[in-house]
A and B are shown apart, each in its own frame.
Chain A
Amino acid sequence: MTADNKKMKISLKIWRQESPQAAGHFEAYELDDVTPEMSFLEMLDHLNEKLVSEGKTPVYFESDCREGICGTCGLVINGIAHGVGPRKATCQLHMRSFQDGETIHVEPWRAKAFPVIQDLGVDRSAFDRIIAAGGYVSVNTGNAPDGNSLPVGKTTAEQAFDAAACIGCGACVAACKNASASLFVSAKISQYALLPQGQPERARRAGAMVAQMEEEAFGSCTNETECSAVCPKGISFENIVRMNREFLRSQFGSTEIE
């Protein structure tokens, strides 16, 4: 089926770790039949098929939609969260971005708040706990007014969307030298701070989400902007600036609509 029959030789150094408690190590693998149109994860699928047919344990990694939206996949590839190239998740990286004969290092997200569960898979449930603390508008089903009753300016809606586009993959944490979750948290706070629907709980939300973030094992933000650089959705660093403002308001301002 492949028109281009070019095969690439790839050396892999992959992080293997049996369990959260076990010590991990890099393991070397060679593949000599990689094709440029394979995605990076398809290359790993291929490796796993080989390992399984040799009776070996496949490499555990996570992925699902394979089109950059579910946020499940996430590997540090040659030191870069989601690998080389702007605005893509690991599943959107293709082998044509690598050289024939190249050696590729593959590691999981490294952050205290994201413990490794096996090999390249990590536990990001801290993100869910932050959302549970306040990342929503409290409106019960059936309680809503007509959709057009509150106009939202086009630009505002677009800005809110840009923040809401976060896929929760955690690359921002993995890329940050302090393992801060600020970009993730600020994106959600911004979405609702921008929209009229988010106003009634605006201050409470910012306070609660930031408090939960601090309770988890994330570090603090020191304005390196590495997070935005690796973000598959290009979530802007400005959201963090907004979050800081919102947080201050929540501490000193009123807690209701102004």
Chain B
Amino acid sequence: MMKLDAKIPSGDISEKWTRHKFEMKLVSPANRRKHQIIIVGTGLAGASAAATLGEAGYQVKSIFYHESPRRAHSIAAQGGINAAKNYQNDGDSVFRLFYDTIKGGDFRAREANVHRLAEVSTSIIDQCVAQGVPFAREYGGTLANRSFGGTQVSRTFYARGQTGQQLLLGAYGAMMRQVDAGQVEMLTRREFMDLVVVNGQARGVIVRNLLTGELETHMGSAVVLATGGYSNVYYLSTNAKHSNVSATWRAYKKGALFANPSFMQIHPTCIPVSGDYQSKLTLMSESLRNDGRVWVPKQAGDKRSPTQIPESERDYFLERKYPSFGNLVPRDVASRNAKTVCDEGRGVGNSGEAVYLDFADAIGRLGPQKIAEKYGNLFEIYSNITGEDPYKLPMRIFPAPHYTMGGLWVDYHLMTTIPGLFAIGEANFSDHGANRLGASALMQGLADGYFVLPYTLANYLGNTSLASVSDQADEAKATRRSVAEKIDRILGVKGKTPVTVIHRRLGRVMWNFVGMSRSKEGCQKAIQEIRELREEFWSDCAVPGDANTLNHSIELAGRVADFLEFGELIAKDAETREESCGCHFREEYQTPENEALRNDDAFAHVAAFEYQGEDKEALRHQEALVFENVKPSQRSYK
């Protein structure tokens, strides 16, 4: 069996990265311009990498399906970004951020990566401030912080409820500066179709020009995937409509291993589903749990309006069960508890699939003005969607698929199992274990792009001999041919069912069987039903139009086709991980208090899957996780 080598440097955890930076190979400034680096994606991870590598002197091609880098899904992040600055003098440190992240991830993340993340977190804030990101400030002019779940310090930096937007615009500006300087070439409106592997090395990509339908080949010294997460396999999620798994999935089919695909974060505070035609779910930032109190009626079936229910008949279940973290328990814990009270018949709203998030106390304490200052835009979003005023009535919220901890397996260098193919940001699996803490995805995306990849990529280039290859190489031509055939195959079905209908059904299967709670039987059922849907897709999907033109239907169909394969891998991973950890809750494995029950003897490892061919079972590999600095314990937020 393939042995997964994470290439973790030796030495004390706090010195690994510093020492390794010195040990790694560099590429001299004169040689950098000889390297064409292909980066797919311009979210926080991709844009920061493109900017930094451009500044360093590499020739960068930035490829993405959006019309502009600024449209990437990172733009939608609301609440904030963590950093171990300890500006609040509340006991924060690099080690504490490291510790919180390992513990929050339920001891399923790699220590060395997480420590490095915590180390570089402080430089990220400095960089963003220098770019003119308008972070929230105190009256004295210093940076303001707030708290997020799973921590007892205040280390989250924010720009109202639009932190992702401001950070992305900062990275986008830095990247556009390199476009202006001729270091970064932007190829907008291109869908990644496949990876070109030559002599076992990632050397190029086949993309489809979405405006013309033309297939293009772009070759280079290395390829970086920064293509984001795959929550949309659940159809309804908080992700943007076009977020997809296609790029990482196609890399997987070319030989890159896919790690922990079933580690899927369900975010506790989203606006509940209101109708059958709903196309996405809207997040209400976790920061709201700083001041909002979560409750349901004590009595099942209590249909009174919330203001009619007296204090004594309310159950503030998070505060009751977890007195030391209260409403700020980690996401997996908050979500599961919301599901439990709804399953008990105590859910609120028409569907009974919601709990209250109540600001009455905070408004009483701080006044509506202060609350508006902190959460104004979120309250506006809420009332716009629901037609209700959260200043007067508690919000109704329910968990929804939100973030994917799983992704392409990468080593300490963020390189996949295909030499020369790197994965950064949400697209990799690296830092969050089985549950990500709030405000840590933005941190990771920018850490990868600004501060990690530029070193590790140079090390790869410095250590590797690269033959010169052209876009006419046999491998490039063959890959391009297979891409064209796949498109023809999709257009050739000429069936009756719109792909969105099939996608919606897939989402329901995923949510019911591999959502917030899983069982062996459920996983097997999911696999069965996904296979049926896949058959239906290939015999009856309706994809109108031709290949050689702007045809949005082709993109949609290609992505749904990939989700229909990928969903099965999620179910397989969930089935084979016979324990509960973080987001992954197997009904068979729980403590007497219904908390996730890990099995460290058998499952303290990363599961990484290797593609074996069409309709063949993927091969499951393991990367053992060694904890030398934080002793795995039963997580307790009580």
Which listed residue (B67, B141, B450) contacts A72, Cβ 8 A?
B67
Distance to closest chain B CB from A150 (angstroms): 8
- Of B69-77, B95-103, B323-331, which binds chain A? B69-77
B166 within 8 Å of A (CB atoms): yes
Binary interface encoding of chain A residues 7-39 relative to chain B, with 1 for a CB under 8 A from any of its CBs, else 0: 000000000000100000000000000010111
A257 within 8 Å of B (CB atoms): no
Distance to closest chain A CB from B553 (angstroms): 7
Residue of B nearest to A163 (CB): B134
B364 within 8 Å of A (CB atoms): no
Binary interface encoding of chain B residues 67-88 relative to chain A, with 1 for a CB under 8 A from any of its CBs, else 0: 1111111011000000001010
Which listed residue (B48, B165, B174) contacts A167, Cβ 8 A?
B165
Q: Which of B328-370 contact A (CB under 8 A)?
A: 350-351
Q: Are A66 and B143 in contact (CB under 8 A)?
A: no
Which listed residue (A38, A69, A135) contacts B275, Cβ 8 A?
A38
Q: Are A52 and B553 in contact (CB under 8 A)?
A: yes
Which listed residue (A48, A62, A137) contacts B173, Cβ 8 A?
A137
CB within 8 Å for A53 and B497 given contacts A117-B550, A136-B131, A140-B55: yes
A residues less than 8 Å from B159 (CB atoms): 161, 164
Q: Are A160 and B134 in contact (CB under 8 A)?
A: yes
Q: Are A151 and B142 in contact (CB under 8 A)?
A: yes
Q: Are B166 and A145 in contact (CB under 8 A)?
A: no
How far does the alpha carbon of A136 sit from the alpha carbon of B553 in the complex, in Å?
A: 36
Binary interface encoding of chain B residues 2-33 relative to chain A, with 1 for a CB under 8 A from any of its CBs, else 0: 00000000000000000000000000000000
How far does the alpha carbon of A127 sit from the alpha carbon of B172 in the complex, in Å?
A: 12
Most B C-beta atoms less than 10 A away, residue of A42, A64, A132, A198: A64
B residues less than 8 Å from A96 (CB atoms): 387
Query: Do most interface residues of chain A lie in helix, strand or loop, or is the interface mixed?
Result: loop
A215 within 8 Å of B (CB atoms): no
Q: Are B138 and A154 in contact (CB under 8 A)?
A: yes
- Of B121-129, B191-199, B260-268, B627-635, which binds chain A? B121-129
A residues less than 8 Å from B454 (CB atoms): 141
B residues less than 8 Å from A52 (CB atoms): 498, 542-544, 553
Q: Are B282 and A49 in contact (CB under 8 A)?
A: no
B384 within 8 Å of A (CB atoms): yes
Q: Are B274 and A64 in contact (CB under 8 A)?
A: no
A residues less than 8 Å from B490 (CB atoms): none
- Of A76-84, A100-108, A118-126, A174-182, which binds chain B? A118-126
CB within 8 Å for A37 and B275 given contacts A1-B351, A66-B240, A96-B387: yes
Which listed residue (B240, B380, B553) contacts A64, Cβ 8 A?
B240
Which listed residue (B282, B350, B496) contacts A67, Cβ 8 A?
B282
Q: Are B277 and A45 in contact (CB under 8 A)?
A: yes
Q: Are A69 and B180 in contact (CB under 8 A)?
A: no
CB within 8 Å for A191 and B126 given contacts A35-B275, A70-B71, A147-B143: no
How far does the alpha carbon of A124 sit from the alpha carbon of B189 in the complex, in Å?
A: 12
B residues less than 8 Å from A110 (CB atoms): none
A92 within 8 Å of B (CB atoms): yes
A residues less than 8 Å from B240 (CB atoms): 64-66, 70
Number of chain B residues whose Cβ lies closer than 8 Å to a Cβ of chain A? 88
Q: Are B176 and A157 in contact (CB under 8 A)?
A: no
B residues less than 8 Å from A132 (CB atoms): 176-177, 179-180
How far does the alpha carbon of A168 sit from the alpha carbon of B70 in the complex, in Å?
A: 9
Q: Which of B174-226 contact A (CB under 8 A)?
A: 174, 176-177, 179-180, 186, 188, 211
Binary interface encoding of chain A residues 139-150 relative to chain B, with 1 for a CB under 8 A from any of its CBs, else 0: 111111111101
B486 within 8 Å of A (CB atoms): no
A residues less than 8 Å from B180 (CB atoms): 132-134
Binary interface encoding of chain A residues 36-58 relative to chain B, with 1 for a CB under 8 A from any of its CBs, else 0: 01110111011011001101111
CB within 8 Å for A198 and B132 given contacts A71-B71, A136-B177: yes
B591 within 8 Å of A (CB atoms): no
B276 within 8 Å of A (CB atoms): yes
Distance to closest chain A CB from B548 (angstroms): 12
A residues less than 8 Å from B380 (CB atoms): 87
Residue of A nearest to B157 (CB): A147
CB within 8 Å for A68 and B277 given contacts A53-B498, A139-B130, A146-B126: no
Which listed residue (B68, B87, B174, B278) contacts A125, Cβ 8 A?
B68
How far does the alpha carbon of A145 sit from the alpha carbon of B134 in the complex, in Å?
A: 16
Residue of B nearest to A143 (CB): B130
Which listed residue (A41, A125, A150) contacts B279, Cβ 8 A?
A41
B162 within 8 Å of A (CB atoms): yes
How far does the alpha carbon of A43 sit from the alpha carbon of B276 in the complex, in Å?
A: 12
Binary interface encoding of chain B residues 54-68 relative to chain A, with 1 for a CB under 8 A from any of its CBs, else 0: 010000000000111
Q: Are A136 and B66 in contact (CB under 8 A)?
A: no
Distance to closest chain B CB from A89 (angstroms): 10
New A-B pairs, 20, CB < 8 Å, besides A65-B240, A70-B76: A1-B274, A55-B542, A67-B280, A70-B70, A70-B72, A92-B381, A96-B387, A124-B68, A128-B176, A131-B176, A141-B48, A142-B123, A143-B130, A147-B128, A147-B129, A151-B137, A165-B162, A168-B68, A195-B134, A198-B132
CB-based closest 9 A-B pairs:
A151-B141, A136-B173, A144-B130, A144-B126, A161-B134, A3-B350, A147-B129, A64-B240, A157-B137
Task: List 5 A-B residue pairs with CB atoms under 8 Å apart, sorted by A's residue number.
Answer: A39-B279, A66-B241, A131-B173, A136-B131, A154-B141
